[in-house]
Amino acid sequence: MIPESFIQELLNRIDVVDVIDKSVPLKKAGSNYVACCPFHQEKSPSFTVSPSKQFYHCFGCGAHGSALSFLMEYQGMSFLDAVEDLAKSAGLTVPQDAVKISPQAKEKNLALAEVLLLACEYYQTALKKSGRAIEYLKKRGLTGQIAKTFQLGYAPEGWQNLESIFKKYDDDALYTAGLVLKNDQGKLYDRFRDRIMFPIHNMKGEIIGFGGRVINPEDTPKYYNSPETPLFLKSQELYGLFAARRSIREKGCALVVEGYMDVVGLAQFGVMNVVATLGTATSAFHIKKLMRQTDTIIFCFDGDLAGKAAAWRAMMNALPSLTDKVVLKFLFLPEEHDPDSFIRAHNKEAFELMMQDAMPLSQYLVQYLTEKNHLVTQEDKVKFLNEAEPILKEITAPKLSLLLRKRFAEILHLNDQEMDQLIQVAQPQFQSHKAQMKTKAKLPLSMKRKFILLLILKPQFAINEDLFLAQYDTYEDDLLKKVLEIALNLPESKPSSILHGLKSKIDYSVMDLLQEELTYFDDQIHFESEIDGARKMLLEQAKASKTRAHFSALKDKPLGSLTEEEKEHLKMLTQRPKKP
């Protein structure tokens, strides 16, 4: 686990403006920077980046965070990858214990990345020299520009072509990367031969493997992937995601297809928001990866039996990861077409129209469950319930779960109580009214919360005596204690660093509230005097509160049990001050 102190030091060294500007061009607007939000579609800029507060906030969709969260949400990086990326730019080294990878393993991974890159360059050069491979791509309707965009290449015929570019053909890195194989006699030979090569990239744009497609239709297998390596796990990667991520955000949806050629073929016609699984069923990891990019995921499958079976597997794997913000849709093509052939036979507009008409999850489920079940007999209805029950058990999104239960009940002519008796599924859990109000409503800015915001912005003005101001059991006192814990230990922290430190310690609704209030907070004030003034007011409130508590305690005591000193004190507290 990466130490919190390292993350805070990292955020203190990084400039969020520089990080975001590399992906989303920013324009100066007063003391901040603005752009059209990369997380939702808009025509006028509502996305603001604050150099003084070191975070971003969109007034349209509410997206907010630090440089670290931007890389995770926009670039789709894992937490560790985002930390390493920022550390590299800041000239810091991530603690090895945190990364859980030895220097030796890291060196091997670098060697794998290097041989994969060299192989890719070789395959691209070989494609330019092969009239046969170029002719094949032209017949598939692909231009040189698309081939360049996706770094397509060609692995020539022959057994040891890679020997010409690698001085040590028997290097372990080539074998581990899956570029070469060994026969029973221990002789090495190229894994990919006479195939169009599709480099597979991670979210940082680095090559982590290859997919090879046959040119000769009689050769098998049709597609041949790199084996799994320390860099490449098939169930966790999506082909084309690195190239598609910007279009996915612009279009507001991601299209999941089954093959490399579908991704590239659709891109040729301008449909860029497309990814493909790598010879595996769509996994929960794939869904979570796509959910970082968009709230709408469309699965596109052939209309034959194999396509329908693949769609059902994808749906079942996706259900546990769904939230009520995510929309799943299903698009089935005519049986004679795959996405690549359909768009070439028709056009981009026809394909995008089909995407718009894709079936929502609820419609797909009802259609699937009633396709061979007319619900005529009681036995038919029992069969429907038996098939619906495991589906409902997989859904953790409360609103979706509840509405599907109601829809199934309508189909079977059951009421809610009867449905609950027949299907043993946990009831969806919703936020309490109090929690919802806390999330949605902006609470009036109390003096204590103002003091908290001031300390987040200028932690160097925090003092140990401020802990006296957080002596009660309220969420504001708890928040103040947590802010002071960071501010007193790391007084030079930037606001983004303090917010990151709070992230795992406070409720997400309070976190959202803080972020919103900080966005509106005027940072052109004289902080030292503002903090000093707020501190004095809170001290007076604390003393007054303590006096009231003492008075209440004395008043509730029986008069006979009071000491002479307590009686005198009670008398003094009950006396009204004389008018001047």
Mean predicted confidence (pLDDT) in 102-127: 88
Would you say residue 107 lies in a domain? yes
Region at 178 (left for phi over 0; alpha for psi -120 to 50; beta for the rest): left
Q: Are 493 and 502 in contact (CB under 8 A)?
A: no
Q: Which pLDDT band holds residue 517 (cuts at 50, 70, 90)? A: confident
Q: Terminus-to-terminus CA distance in the chain, angstroms?
A: 66
Give Cα 527 to chain centroid, integer Å: 35
Q: Is residue 339 located within the same domain as residue 447? A: no
Q: How far is CA 437 from CA 428, 473, 475, 510, in A?
A: 19, 20, 15, 11
Cβ pair 191, 181 in contact under 8 A: yes
Is the residue at 429 inside a domain?
no
Asked whether residue 576 is domain-assigned, the answer is no
Q: Evaluate the CA torsion angle 169, 175, 181, 185 in order and state its sign.
A: positive
Q: What is the average pLDDT score of the chain?
A: 85
Whether 219 and 118 map to the same domain: the answer is yes
- Any domain includes 377: yes
At residue 520, the pLDDT reads 76
Cβ(262)–Cβ(244) below 8 Å: no
Q: What is the pLDDT of residue 575?
A: 60
Domain boundary at 366, 386, 407, which? Answer: 366
Q: Does residue 45 have a cis peptide bond before it, meaning omega lies within 30 degrees of 0?
A: no
* Residues 264 and 323 reside in one and the same domain: yes
**CATH number for the domain harbouring residue 162:** 3.90.980.10
Structure tokens at 224: 């041949």
Same domain, 212 and 152: yes
Give the pairing type, strands 327-332 and 359-360. Answer: antiparallel
Residues 358 and 378 in one domain: no
Domains of the chain: total: 5
Give me the amino acid identity at 246. R
Residue 68 is part of which domain span? Answer: 4-99
Rounded CA-CA distance 461/147 in Å is 57
77 and 89 share one domain: yes
Query: Model confidence at 264, in pLDDT bands (50, 70, 90)?
Result: very high
Kindly indicate the confidence band of residue 552, based on its pLDDT and cuts at 50, 70 and 90: low
Residue 511 pLDDT class (50, 70, 90 cuts) = confident
* DSSP tally for the chain: helices H, then strands E: 26, 16
pLDDT (tens digit per residue) in 309-337: 888 888 888 888 888 888 999 999 998 89
Percent of the chain with pLDDT strictly greater than 90: 40
Q: Which of 197, 232, 267 is the last residue of a domain?
A: 232
Question: What is the share, in percent, of the chain residues with pLDDT greater than 70?
Answer: 88
- Give the pLDDT confidence of 522-547 residue by residue, as tens digits: 777 888 888 888 888 888 877 776 65
Predicted local distance difference test score (pLDDT) of residue 257: 94
pLDDT score of 288: 83
390 lies in the same domain as 347: no
* Exposure letters 183-214 (e unless 16+ CB within 10 A, then b): eeeeebbbbbbbbbbbbbbbbeeebbbbbbbb
DSSP lists the bridge partners of residue 57 as 48, 64
In a domain, 427, yes or no: no
Residue 434 has pLDDT above 70, yes or no: no
Strands (E), 192-295: 195-201, 207-214, 223-225, 254-257, 274-276
3-class DSSP assignment, residue 209: strand
Write 415-424 long-range contacts (CB < 8 A, 24+): 422/385, 423/385, 423/388, 423/389, 423/392, 424/389
Residues 109 and 214 in one domain: yes
Same domain, 300 and 280: yes
Claim: this prediction has a pTM higher than 0.85: no
Pick the more confident residue, 566 or 433. 566
Q: Where are the alpha helices (DSSP H) in 346-494?
A: 348-356, 361-370, 378-394, 398-412, 416-422, 433-440, 447-457, 475-489
Q: Are 350 and 314 contained in the same domain?
A: yes
Structure tokens belonging to residue 144: 């040189």
561 in a structural domain = no
**Same domain, yes or no: 444 and 323:** no
Kindly report which listed range (167-176, 186-195, 510-519) carries the lowest average pLDDT score.
510-519
Please tell me whether residues 470 and 510 are part of one structural domain.
yes
> What is the widest separation between alpha-carbon atoms in the chain?
109
